[in-house]
Structure 1
Amino acid sequence: MPLQAFRGPRVWLWRWRRNPLKRRADTVEAWVMLGACLGTVLAGVVAGCAAAGTVGHALARERAERRPAVARVTGQVPGPRSSASGTSAGDRGWATVRWTAPDGSTHTGQAWVAAGAPAGTPVTVWTDPQGRLVTRPASPAQARLGAGLVGGLAGVAAGGVPCLMGLALHGRLERYRMRQWDAEWARLGPQWRRTAG
């Protein structure tokens, strides 16, 4: 409680109230900090929503364009390694597969298939509209998570710019006020010493 008496009561929005001891630097600092806070929130929300929307639309377009196709393994896939090596019988490996695109053209590529699969084994692969091999598209839940993470990171990064600018301006104003205090003390300090003596 004595600390509260020493500090005095906390007055909200004191920098905007009329006060004979308030300096112009106090008012400027109040507006700078208010602008920095509003800029931080606004930039973070706008950038985060824009980034999340862009990523969400891109992943939705991938889901709409990519189609599963049945491919066939063209040759024997090497069998699973022995259990003595510490690997399981469910090993997978790369193998050459062949599939037919929607336009009727035949394509070949590498796909991740079960080890030991014989030639002719059907494998599901994902293709783009041109029939080229692509990765499996993200599920709606994965797309939401990815868009949310990218949006959050973009929002924090964009919001950090006005926040750091506000802190830098606050530091400059603080140094300016300290220089003013030094100048006034240099002017008034000798007068106080004369009256004390």
Structure 2
Amino acid sequence: MRSIAGLWRWRRNPLCRGTDRAEGWITLCAVLTVLLAAPVAALWGGHTAHETLSGIVREQHRERHQVWATVAETSPGGSDAPETDSDRRVAATWTAVDGSTHSGTVVTDRATEPGDRLRVWIDARGEVTTRPMDADTAASHAALAGVGTGVLTALLVEVVRRLVVRRLVSWRYARWEEEWARVGPDWGWAGRSN
């Protein structure tokens, strides 16, 4: 409470110029804007991202299906194809939802032999695709988008505040130059007689 009273008394200080008071008011407005606008922007950004991502989740779950694929050969690129424990490519065949048979290269995380069966995700055309996004992942991405929107809003307010304060400071220095130009010629000689 004492600090608020001290700030209130500072406004009556004869050394406090108009630009100092303007800078204080601009800073106060910026703080209040950040405290009010950043949470609103974060909620809006998170909500918008969640609606968009929820639509993508629904679309992907409608278009992508998991089917069984049968391994045809284990190294479709030949024996020179690099394989690691986490990334094995095999040639496989599978039947799409419409009944058509497809073949291609699929990635598996385990050792396979011809005739082994794997679960793969396919799109509406029957081509191998990635697993559809789940609702929890969409919610996490939406929360991150909301936080990012709030932070960007706060940064934007701070950038505007700094630009305005920079302009005030340059105006303040220009005024000081003018005052020193008026006072400068008599500096140190006031009251002396020749």
TM-score, with structure 1 as normaliser:
0.66
CA contact (8 A) 1:59 1:137 kept: no
**2:190 matches 1:194:** yes
The one-letter amino acid of 2:66's match is A
Instruction: Pick one of 68, 72, 75 that aligns with 2:72.
Output: 75
Range that drifts further, 32-41 or 160-169: 32-41
Judged with a 3 Å threshold, the aligned counterparts in structure 2 of structure 1 residues 72 and 25 are, in CA distance, closer, same or farther, namely: same
Task: Spell out, residue by residue over 1:144-184, the C-alpha distance to the aligned partner (whole angstroms, 9 max, x if none).
Answer: 33333333233323432221121121122112112222322
Q: Which runs of 5+ in 1 are unaligned?
A: 1-8, 79-86
Check if 1:113 corresponds to 2:108: yes
54-63 vs 174-183, greater mean Cα deviation: 54-63
Does the Cα contact within 8 Å between 1:69 and 1:99 map onto a contact in 2?
no
Distance 1:39 1:142 in 2: 31
Contact 1:95/1:113 (CA < 8 Å) preserved in 2?
yes
Matched, 1:34 2:28: yes
Corresponding residue of 2:178: 183
SS at match of 2:169: helix
CA distance in 1, matches of 2:130, 2:47: 22
Identity score, percent: 29
Q: TM-score, normalised by structure 2?
A: 0.67
Is 1:103 matched up with 2:94? no
Contact 2:72/2:93, CA 8 A, preserved across alignment: no
What is the identity, as a one-letter code, of the residue corresponding to 1:143?
Answer: A
2: CA distance between counterparts of 1:24 and 1:136? 62
Which runs of structure 2 are paired with 1:49-64 in the superposition (5 Å)? 49-64=43-58
- Cα pair distance change 1:54/1:128, threshold 3 Å: farther
- Structure 2: which amino acid aligns with 1:56? H
SS of structure 2 residue aligned to 1:75: strand
Pairs aligned (count): 180
Structure 2: runs of 5 or more not aligned: 76-82
Residue 19 of structure 2: aligned partner: 25
Structure-1 separation of matches of 2:120 and 2:56? 15
1:70-125 residue CA offsets vs partner (Å, 9 max, x unmatched): 231341213xxxxxxxx98x554122333333333444443212454233422222
